[in-house]
Structure 1
Amino acid sequence: MGRGREISLAPHPPPATGRGREISLAPHPPPAMGRGPANHPARSIQSIAAELGNLRLFLLLLETPSGFAIFSFPGVLLYLPDAIESIWAYFSEDYKARKILLLKEFRTFDDKSSAINLCTGVNKKLTKMILKWRRPGQKLAVGKPEYKTIIETSLKIPCLCDEAVMEVTWGVKNLMRRLVPKEKSGLTKEDCLPMSEGLKKVLSRYGFDDVKPEMINERIIVTACALFDCDSTEKKHSACLCCFGGLIKGVSGIDCEDWGLLKLATALKVIFCPEEVGDYHEMLSKDELSKLVDDAHKYTCNIGKVLGVMVYKEMVSAHEVRTKEKILLGHLVMEAKEAYENGKGK
């Protein structure tokens, strides 16, 4: 199972059509976006990309310990329907971040407070740095609300500073040493606060509600991302597998209402490959397995069994990885808590 998510602006193919009881696992169009936490209007990813046009790449102005850095990244990332929950996962490891983020320039400043402040605005050095990379109409994401006010007032450049931008900022800071190698000064604990909201939600979903930002380390982030990927795999296949459950009831008369997604995926594999002998008894009863094998020929589909088997394999992999990584995350959190408590006592 691959880690992370890919941002694709390509149109989704239409579902396969055929006769009889058809199994359709073709990708569904993205759902309409509601006004999410980042307070963006309801639009599809394609319409957002079309609206952004050639300016779909946004700039990020990030304050570092000794200066400022400018990055470019796909602006659509901020408008995904689950942006607050998913952005952090792009920054769990540096190779993922480099797929979406490009460092344009980094400069040190002897006095950062004079580079940008409410009284004097933006000084010449930082202004030149920003204007060097910004194209007319291009949006600039900033990590502090006061920077948004100052830049919009002084330079008349439209800026973004919302929850989604803060997730990107957290991610870059998390990988500062790798993404800004010329930055030799280290981040303080305060620089890494607050914790990513998306990471916090994953930890909470797996029962770790009391993890403090100071406890977060690289291994916890990578392990939490593995669990996030498992959740994303289930979410990706959930709709089609639930529809498949209704199809099973109609064709084979088996009530699947209480079945989990893994059991539905197992039934899908049996129907696509009835001739294969597999160890399905942990998921399916003897009667269920026998009925599905006998009725396999009644299910008609045009997509072939490759996609159906792929769904099954991805679901099995997600289940196995989740089981292993959840245990590991528990150990890592326990170690981090002990280290944190011992540090407080010194």
Structure 2
Amino acid sequence: MVLFETPSGFAIFYFDGISLYEPDAMENIWAHFVTEYRASHVIWRKDFQVFKDKSDAINYDTGLNNKLTKMLLKWHQPGQKLAIGKTQYKIVIEANLGISCLFDEPVMELMRGLNYLMHSVVPEEKSKLAKEHCLQMSQGLKMLLLRYGFDVKPEMVNDCIIVTACNLYDSDCCLKNQFKSWCHASHFLQDVSSINSQDWDMLKLATALKMVCYPEDEILFGNPDEMFSTDELSKLVADAHKYEDSGIIKGAILRLYNLTVYLYNSKAKYQRRLASFVKEAKEAYEAEQVI
């Protein structure tokens, strides 16, 4: 359960809380809130109420007023944790209602996502967020941008950067899933050619299996001469005929290879597009600083 504060009131959501405990929570949560459609798969709004004086609704000294108390108790289920965006709210709610609250970095990432989609998930809210909240960049987005070499100030972030970064994130996720399939097929290289591919990256592994299954076909992504050592390359070429009776399903390898190449090309496209958007945003930001 989530207590989300807006400029004029409080909203109650149910959230797929497993996301808060995953090892890569900070990198994953932000992507759920890039669009309303994506958010609809992980968060469900239950209530929203306007409060004339929010400081009266929840206060460190006076506790909670009746309106907010009823709102929380109406939707809270036994044993359910409540994610909240302020430390003082955690103290007040736990002391007055005995509801276990959660406040940490993944929760703050969730709140940043809700702020980004506020007018979609709480359409009744007509007020705008204060400037300092609008400029709070998602930590997950920041991690992704830095991983690809983009040092972007919060003031530079725009919808084009966010959406393209999310597309890049999706490509990365799909490639990680594909890697599991390639690892399952890698034992053929060991069994047939005595090649240990344990430390290979996915593209090298995919290329090797494509080469032995379809030795006459063109390699669509990357250069085998650069991927493999001379010994590895010669063994793959010489042993290709041995895979005919190895039990490997060549059609499955081809479909998986084509999908992997598509994902690598998509990832490269989104990287180029993101670099262009970041460059434009940086130039616009620097121009504003001069003025």
Superposed, 1:151-230 pairs within 5 Å as 151-192=93-134, 194-208=136-150, 210-230=151-171
Report the 3-state secondary structure (helix = DSSP H, G, I; strand = E; otherwise coil) of the residue aligned with 1:300.
coil
Whole-angstrom distance in 1 between the partners of 2:185 and 2:135: 44
- State the match for 1:70 in structure 2: 12
Question: For residues 235-259 of structure 1, what are the alpha-carbon distances to aligned partners after superposition, in whole Å with 9 as ceiling and x for unaligned?
Answer: 2233553564564144125565775
Whole-Å separation in 2 of the counterparts to 1:292 and 1:245: 15
What SS does the corresponding residue of 1:278 show, helix, strand or coil? coil
Aligned residue among 98, 107, 110 for 2:52 = 110
Aligned partners of 2:109 and 2:139 also within 8 Å: yes
Matched, 1:340 2:285: yes
Identity %: 47
- 1:213-241 deviation per Cα after TM superposition (whole angstroms, max 9, x unaligned): 22222211111112212222332233553
Report the AA paired with residue 280 of structure 1: I
- Contact 1:252/1:291, CA 8 A, preserved across alignment: no
Q: 1:296 aligns to what?
A: 243
Q: Distance in 2 between matches of 1:192 and 1:154?
A: 32
Which residue identity is paired with 2:243? A
Structure 2 unaligned blocks of 5 or more: 226-232
Q: Which has the larger radius of gyration?
A: 2
The 3-state SS of whatever aligns with 1:230 is: helix
The count of aligned residue pairs is 283
Q: Equivalent of 2:218, from 273, 279, 282?
A: 279
Bigger share in helix: 2
Deviations for 1:131-175, whole angstroms, at most 9, x for unmatched residues? Answer: 121122221110111111111111111111111111111111111
Corresponding letter in the other structure for 1:167: E
Distance (Å, rounded) in 2 between the aligned partners of 1:307 and 1:129: 54
Find out whether 1:315 has 2:255 as its counterpart: no
Measure how far apart 1:296 and its partner are: 2.1
The two structures have a TM-score, normalised by structure 1, of: 0.73
Match of 1:24 in 2: none
Which one-letter code corresponds to 2:189 in the other structure? I
1:93 aligns with 2:32: no
TM-score normalised by L of structure 2 = 0.86
Whether the 8 Å CA contact 1:234–1:315 is kept in 2: the answer is yes
Q: Per the alignment, do residues 270 and 142 of structure 1 end up closer, same or farther by CA in structure 2, a change over 3 Å counting? A: same
User: 1:313 offset after TM fit, Å?
Assistant: 3.2
- State the distance in 1 between where 2:239 and 2:26 align: 41
Q: Distance in 2 between matches of 1:89 and 1:335?
A: 23
Comparing both chains, which one has the higher relative contact order based on Cα–Cα distances under 8 Å and sequence gaps of 6 or more?
A: 1
1:132 pairs, out of 74, 90, 104, with 74
Query: Is the partner of 1:137 in helix, strand or coil?
Result: coil
The answer to whether the Cα contact below 8 Å between 1:189 and 1:214 also exists between their aligned partners in 2 is no
Contact 2:152 2:278 in 1 (8 A): yes
CA RMSD of aligned residues (A): 2.6
Aligned CA distance change for structure 1 residues 292 and 284 (closer, same or farther; 3 Å):
farther
**1:327 maps onto 2:287 in alignment:** no
The 1-side partners of 2:261 and 2:103 are apart by 40
Superposition map of 1:225-304 within 5 A: 225-242=166-183, 244-245=185-186, 247-254=188-195, 256=197, 259-271=200-212, 274=214, 278-280=217-219, 282-284=222-224, 287=234, 290-291=237-238, 293-301=240-248, 304=249
CA distance, structure 1, for counterparts of residue 196 and residue 58 of structure 2 = 64
Q: Which runs of 4 or more aligned residues in structure 1 lie more than 6 Å from their structure 2 counterparts after TM superposition?
A: none
- Residues 175 and 305 of structure 1: is their aligned pair in 2 closer, same or farther, counting only changes over 3 Å? farther
Rate the CA distance shift 1:329–1:252 in 2: closer, same or farther, 3 A. same
The residue identity in structure 1 corresponding to 2:14 is S
Pair 284,77 (structure 1): closer, same or farther in 2 beyond 3 Å = same
| Separation in structure 2 between the aligned mates of residue 306 and residue 78 of structure 1, nearest angstrom | 39
